Structure 1
Amino acid sequence: MPVEELNLDQYRITAQELQALSAKCLEARERAYCPYSQFRVGAALLLRPQSESTTATAEHNIVIGANVENAAYPVGTCAERVAVGTAVVQGYKRGDIRAVGVATDIEGYCSPCGMCRQFLREFLDLDTPIFMHNKDGNFQVKTMGELLPMSFGPDVLPPPEELLASRAG
């Protein structure tokens, strides 16, 4: 989808931020380690500044990840989870991810797998946009809520104290 056709205001992202996010997920795709499937995936997260004093550009607020396979197939890790793990290690928290970019080498648009959708749901608001890029860099966008309707997320759980109290009574 051409950027001109998007209402980026609804996603609270600028054209420059989208351009940087797109470039970074395409770059991350090039770093994938996938000797078994040859299915390269790159992911990029556009993050909120960590503090009010942060004056970094969008470039500095993007974390990337790539899929990493293993000879023992279930041990591999998807690009989206690598990127989120990297962000968490850097100090980012739930709600700090403003947008996600995912890139593959196929003609169509590939959304995050089911496991990654649930993993992302832990950290994303339901209205967070996920830009899914094809092999040519074109993209389709859906929100977290559109990709995982009727989702189970942290906001569904009662506070731990409430759950403990309900068991005691």
Structure 2
Amino acid sequence: MTNKENLIAEAKKAREKAYTPYSKFSVGAAIKTKSGKVYTGCNIEIAALSVSCCAERVAIFRAIADGERDFSELAVTGDTSKPISPCGSCRQVMSEFFDTSANMYLTNLNHDTKTMKINELLPFSFQPEDLVNGENDE
């Protein structure tokens, strides 16, 4: 198996752990750090759906909690008719931690896969350098 195939397989395994009692729409994600570690995540929903968390963010936040900050690639999978697409919130989080050369493997259970870069998924994203540096311009 290639690195891409391994990462997609990890995302599919993570999907099986999703907690989706309301939507029944399970998603899994796997990210690879530049140091070579793989972190997985699944979506977790609760009755107050607006505070649920997507698989991509769960994987990224797990890695961050473990001290990782530099990611090289991501795979996300779901039971969709075409390769799954990350939501806007996940895209914004991904743009914070993945550089523009990182591969994003969007896939489904039928093995349909689309490889994209983060700037294709979220062009003109809000970045840390867009924040005011704390100085008052008055």
Flag whether TM exceeds 0.5 (same fold): yes
The match for 2:106 among 132, 138, 142 is 132
Give the superposition deviation at 1:39.
0.6
User: Map of 1:108-147 to 2, 5 A cutoff?
Assistant: 108-147=82-121
Q: How many residues align?
A: 138
Matched, 1:21 2:3: no
CA distance in 2, matches of 1:153, 1:126: 12
Contact 2:75 2:106 in 1 (8 A): yes
User: Map of 1:78-97 to 2, 5 A cutoff?
Assistant: 78-93=54-69, 96-97=70-71
Q: Please give the TM-score of this superposition, normalised by the length of structure 1.
A: 0.76
Paired-residue identity, %? 37
**Structure 1: stretches of 5+ with no match in the other structure:** 1-14, 50-57
Assess, with a 3 A threshold, how the Cα gap between structure 1 residues 157 and 75 changes in structure 2: closer, same or farther: closer
> Which residue identity does 2:18 align to in structure 1?
A
Give the superposition deviation at 1:155.
3.8
Contact 1:109 1:140 in 2 (8 A): yes
CA distance in 2, matches of 1:168, 1:139: 48
The match for 2:29 among 33, 43, 46 is 43
Radius of gyration: which is bigger? 1
Secondary structure of residue in 1 paired with 2:59 = helix
Give the superposition deviation at 1:148.
0.3
Instruction: Determine the structure 2 residue equivalent to 1:76.
Output: 52
Give the superposition deviation at 1:72.
1.2
**Structure 2: stretches of 5+ with no match in the other structure:** none
Instruction: Determine the structure 2 residue equivalent to 1:150.
Output: 124
> Which residue identity does 1:78 align to in structure 2?
C
CA distance in 1, matches of 2:55, 2:102: 18
Deviating beyond 6 angstroms after TM superposition, the runs of 4 or more aligned structure 1 residues are none
Matched, 1:30 2:6: no
Secondary structure of residue in 1 paired with 2:114 = strand
> Which residue identity does 1:89 align to in structure 2?
A
CA distance in 2, matches of 1:114, 1:152: 12
Query: Is the strand fraction higher in 1 or 2?
Result: 2
**Superposition RMSD in Å:** 1.6
Contact 1:26 1:137 in 2 (8 A): no
